[in-house]
Structure 1
Amino acid sequence: MSALTIEYQSERVIAAMTRPEVRNAIDEEMVNEFHALCGELEREPRILIITGSEGIFASGADIGQLRERRRDDALRGVNSTIFRRLAQLPMPVIAAIDGYALGGGAELALAADFRVGTPRIKVGQPETGLGIMAAAGALWRLKEVVGEPMAKEILFTGRILTADEALACGFVSSLDEDPVAAAHALADRIAKQDPLAVRLSKQVFAMPTSAHPYVDNIAQAICFESDAKFDRMQAFLDRKKK
């Protein structure tokens, strides 16, 4: 891979966007490499940490490529398709953000389950200033994360949030000088849980309201038959006896 640098660990994978010469702009090559990585993580589920390089998460889509795209390219949903695939990965996804997370970069971060940032982040959706919409997820994910009034201001006015503003509205859950270390700390906490229970919790969490509580009961039935449930509960009971 040339647009992504991948590090594999036992229960997690770290993917760093490495196009610093264009501020980690997301081009089709990077999209294709994310697809390849998703294929691996769908076959062998692990926690995914996505980060940038050289003080930048991702400045957005590659404007040079975006300038040349036409109607049929938009209908292909180049970025929206990969962001949806990332969001639907079996195990949680964590975005470790530094510097700019703009346009497609912000939408990539929104596709993650968790976002941690540095005090230097700048977050926003400047698409309307370029004559297009934020069509890779921000139009519906952003209001779920920051609330409808703030989402409209970001989307309709091109407002760029500072780190403190991003923290206050919930775009990021924490600020840390080393967001990758913070992401690893969060991944450590997830890794202590039963992987099957985490996977099922993520899938059921994403279900529409009409699917509950039926899908909850089915997923719980699967958990109730797992070896991990018996082992972990017995360990809990054993600790209580001490």
Structure 2
Amino acid sequence: MSSRSFVRVERIGRDGAVRRLRLDRPERANAYHQVLLTELDAALADARADASVKAIIVTGSGERAFCSGADRDELRTRGALDGIELFSRKVFDRLAGLPLPTVACINGAAIGGGLELALACDIRVCSAEARFALPELSLGLTPAAGGVRRLPGLIGHARAAEIILFQRTLDAVTAQSWGLVAECGGDYQARALALAETAAGLDPMAFRLGKMLLEQEQQRVQANLESLAQGLLYGRNQHRTLS
């Protein structure tokens, strides 16, 4: 049995107070499967339980991709219940709900669930080569791990519809001008660390309350609809495969 880890955990910044979680599956464009998600979930829980951790950065290995979303091999095997109880949704929602500052340092393509992972962070910075898309509709699915809930509040309904319904892919410059990422290009990795350390230096209780106030109640209602839609589509697609 392989002992390979798919999430590298690193302590960086002043006094090692920033925990960097690096998706480490570059040969598959950092696509996530069940093992990677389980490791990411455990790393998030460890960071939350460790009082010395003041902020989290999520990034990917290599220059090709931040995360290309769900592994296509696993995607083909999913049925209705998998869509309703989608593990990536649970992990990304736990990331979004952390009381700690979280920064997505996007080193390449953030596609499908990879973009939804980035959206679960408090702020995003990216390389000049990054690109962003939610191609689920072209696969007969819908974004189901937070994209439909979080993207409109970030960039507006019309632009979110352009990405989700009309399958537009954004380059880094457009993503910044639309408000999807705060900054792009240059030494984006250093900027991600600077942002994490700035937020880490704030009063923890004030930061946590501010984050809670920014969360929209509507997102909780949408989460139920998101899971139902994906469950129906997974079930339909599985039936088509078997018939």
TM range (shorter): 0.7 to 0.9
In structure 2, what is the Cα distance between the partners aligned to 1:105 and 1:31?
Answer: 12
1:166 aligned partner, one-letter code: A
The equivalent of 1:40 in structure 2 is 46
By how many angstroms is 1:207 displaced?
6.0
Q: TM-score of the superposition, structure 1-length normalised?
A: 0.82
Identity %: 36
The equivalent of 2:202 in structure 1 is 193
Contact 2:55 2:197 in 1 (8 A): no
Where in structure 2 are there 5+ consecutive unaligned residues? 219-243
By how many angstroms is 1:37 displaced?
1.3
Instruction: Please show how residues 132-151 of structure 1 align to structure 2 within 5 Å.
Output: 132-151=141-160
In structure 2, what is the Cα distance between the partners aligned to 1:147 and 1:119?
Answer: 23
One of 105, 108, 122 as aligned partner of 1:113? 122
Structure of larger gyration radius? 1
In structure 2, what is the Cα distance between the partners aligned to 1:168 and 1:146?
Answer: 10
By how many angstroms is 1:199 displaced?
2.4
In structure 2, what is the Cα distance between the partners aligned to 1:169 and 1:86?
Answer: 23
Q: 1:159 aligns to what SS in structure 2?
A: coil
In structure 2, what is the Cα distance between the partners aligned to 1:174 and 1:48?
Answer: 17
Contact 1:91 1:202 in 2 (8 A): no
In structure 2, what is the Cα distance between the partners aligned to 1:11 and 1:84?
Answer: 23
Instruction: Please show how residues 98-177 of structure 1 align to structure 2 within 5 Å.
Output: 98-177=107-186
Q: 2:165 aligns to what SS in structure 1?
A: helix
Q: 2:152 aligns to what SS in structure 1?
A: helix
In structure 2, what is the Cα distance between the partners aligned to 1:141 and 1:156?
Answer: 15
Total equivalences in the alignment: 209
By how many angstroms is 1:59 displaced?
1.1
One of 32, 38, 51 as aligned partner of 2:59? 51
1:93-149 C-alpha deviation (Å, 9 max, x unpaired)? 100002110000000000000000111111010011111111111111110111100
1:7 aligned partner, one-letter code: E
- More contact order relative to length (CA 8 Å, sep ≥ 6): 2
Is the counterpart of residue 8 in structure 1 residue 11 in structure 2? yes
Q: 1:57 aligns to what SS in structure 2?
A: strand
In structure 1, what is the Cα distance between the partners aligned to 2:184 and 2:56?
Answer: 19
1:14-44 C-alpha deviation (Å, 9 max, x unpaired)? 0011100100001111110111012112323
The equivalent of 1:71 in structure 2 is 80
Q: 2:22 aligns to what SS in structure 1?
A: strand
1:44-80 C-alpha deviation (Å, 9 max, x unpaired)? 3531100011112001110110111111111112111
- How well do the aligned residues superpose, as a CA RMSD in angstroms? 1.6
In structure 2, what is the Cα distance between the partners aligned to 1:139 and 1:64?
Answer: 24
By how many angstroms is 1:177 displaced?
3.1
Q: TM-score of the superposition, structure 2-length normalised?
A: 0.82
Q: 1:105 aligns to what SS in structure 2?
A: helix
One of 20, 24, 34 as aligned partner of 2:30? 24
In structure 2, what is the Cα distance between the partners aligned to 1:21 and 1:88?
Answer: 30
By how many angstroms is 1:160 displaced?
0.6
